[in-house]
Structure 1
Amino acid sequence: MLLVPATAATIDRRLTGRSPVDGRPALVLLDLDQVQQPADEVADALARFGAGRFADVRQLAPERPEAPDMDGLSLLSDLMPQVQKALDSGDASQRQALKAEVDAVLASMPEAPAGRDQPRLDGVLKAMSEALAAEDEDAKPS
């Protein structure tokens, strides 16, 4: 819990916190991790006694990024060396076969939830597919 002093206020303590709302310096009054009561119960009491001076910013906090998808990470760790090897080989049929595999993985991935950025895994797979395709285009006669 933070106290964000008014602009002209003087407080004889060091302001070690930051307001999550606007980044202004704040005094840390209470570390809610050390409170045994449920956070909702504490917030209700602070709202009741602090009235308009209390702002529960838990709802304003940005979503924490989800834990990395371990299946996605292992997929990438398997594919990356294969893609690099195919690109280095100069073998168009190897690149085309691997591109088909990457494209199949892309096609089988679920849609990103509405309002969220496309998962990074999609972007990496698309870049792999494009790199494998670009090599084929470079090999074609003009």
Structure 2
Amino acid sequence: MDLPRNVEFVQLEIENYPNKIIPFNADIHIRITVRGNESIDSFRFSMTIFRADGSPVGSFFSSEIHSIQQGQEATFRLELHDLKLVQGLYHAGLATGMGHPGIGHSDFDVILDVLHFEVMAPESNDGICATWTPGWGSIRFNSPKVTQVS
């Protein structure tokens, strides 16, 4: 895949967990440094999180509100909240570009198999780690509200 690299990745790091071990249900802050190889008035970031076996867990496309000048390097903080990832090993793929799947999109730069991290199992109040069967998936949904209706 030959991409124009108008906005090119320079450096990535998990900012708030440099050891790459993430507590269950913790927010993840990613520091992204990019270089403008052209002046771009409006671009976005997108990201897919993958399980260690390469299966995609989920993706997002940010708002297209960032700009950069040719020759400029800029650093951004991408904050991921409430991911609900279960214990396990993960990595990411990121892109810079324009648009999103709802209207069409094009990428400037794509990097794959980066930001490897591990999500730890949740602990109960007495320090016992919970278990999660892989067949249940990689996301633990919130408990539903259940009410009797008849």
TM-score, length basis structure 2: 0.22
Larger gyration radius, structure 1 or structure 2: 1
* Greater RCO, CA 8 A, separation 6+: 2
Bigger share in helix = 1
Bigger share in strand = 2
